[in-house]
Structure 1
Amino acid sequence: MEDFPDKEKYPFSVPPKHDEGIIAVDVSSNVIVDSVTAMEQTAISSNLIGVTESTCEEEESTKLTLAYERLYEIPRTIVEKFCNYIQYLDISHNKITNLEPLVHFKHLTSLIADDNPVTENSFLPPLPRLQLLWLNYCKIGSLYPWVGKLKESCPNLQYLSLMGNPAAPSYFNGGTFYEYLQYRLFIISQFQYLNHLDDRKVTEDQREESQRLYKRPFLQRIARPNNGLSHLMNSSVSWSNLQSKLTSLWGNKQGRNLLI
């Protein structure tokens, strides 16, 4: 198994050290009422409230963590104060399902949203600069058409991790190697700049095979009205259903695995 990217550059979901310039949010004191996000009370540290723009500019801080804060929304107060310069945002281990406020973070390149009840129906706004996205251990149950929406919102992803989601089959959630490989190749086929998926680097062989199997013009040609894929092309289905439809459609000539 290959190592992840440089942890100093992409610290992922591991809480960063305070001496790395990370703005940490402590909810032990004070309360800000945010009417826009419909949150009755959101506790924010007085130290964070007192940070001025000049102070942030002097420290050249572009990272913000809101992890483990029991948030149901990203508070408007936080958005207004930090959206103009934050590049790395960690909202992991909360109860956030609405990601729409992220649209205001124009410079966001890294988003850590692990362990939130995000589903395939959650709206993800356009984030053209986003290069790293972690959605591990969320509630994403279907890849199609969610991956297409993700591609439209984040076309320049280089690092994507979906481990622990029902739609990301692995030995840990009962998936077979065949299912895992199909899942991996399907994701790779959608993102031309993807370098890392989950815990492994994307290889050239995988990229070539992904284009051979999941190139969209081919899917469009075989998705005829009476074809089983016509339903697949226009509705949200589970990955197990997707792989069974593809298997039954393409067959398994002479016992050979299609993906090898």
Structure 2
Amino acid sequence: MLDYSNKTVLVTGGASGIGRAATLAFARQGASVQVIELNDSAWPALQEELKDLEGNANLHTCDVSDQQAVVALFNKIGRVDVLINNAGVAHVGKVTNTPEADFERLFRVNVKGVYNCMYAAIPLMQQQGGGVILNMSSIAAYVGLPDRFAYSMTKGAVSAMTISAARDYLADKIRVNSISPARVHTPFVDGFIAKNYPGKEAEMFEKLSHSQPIGRMGKPEEIANLALYLCSDEASFITGTDYPIDGGFIKLNT
């Protein structure tokens, strides 16, 4: 079950947060994981955890918003059985206090980055006779989160791109799905709270945790485990679908 031996799994943003958990999860199942990061600061610590796992991982520094660099890197890697489009950035703001530069930055990474990686991976998958793409969306694509205008815009785009690509490449045996997490406790979340709510870190952590009806934030490993299943041969009948993993946020909040 969930055997990734002899499979190449590419994870963008794969050295930290949810991406890091995915890298470890796929490596445990025997995959050769190709990690794309903008910088390598988190790589040494991750390497330590990878030492005793069945699979292996390699780091590639690349900006996913640079199409030419992405295509060159994917072609160099040569084979992509699974693409996890996880790299992304966030922003706090409404329409009227979102600067154009921030709007464009989020679009460049969260939307164009996903497009660039699919653009580079799909021809390789067509040559191989198939593959799996999993895009990281968010509950922000479904519900109106306060002060998340630009971020929500990008995740709505990711959901639409997922459905469109899934339809377009059915005949190529390429499955395309997405995951929509609610809040997940990562170092990014801790940094986000510290930056935007100085002096109120504990209060805001509790507030954000309890916005999920289940009473806590998700764990990166829980998201990674869902990714592990959706990209496996056992999930071969699943395509064009988004999977909320949200502690009941979408359906149970009143």
Same fold (TM > 0.5): no
Q: Normalised by the size of structure 2, how large is the TM-score?
A: 0.31
More relative contact order, 1 or 2 (CA 8 Å, 6+ apart): 2
Q: Indicate the structure with greater helix content.
A: 2
Q: Normalised by the size of structure 1, how large is the TM-score?
A: 0.31
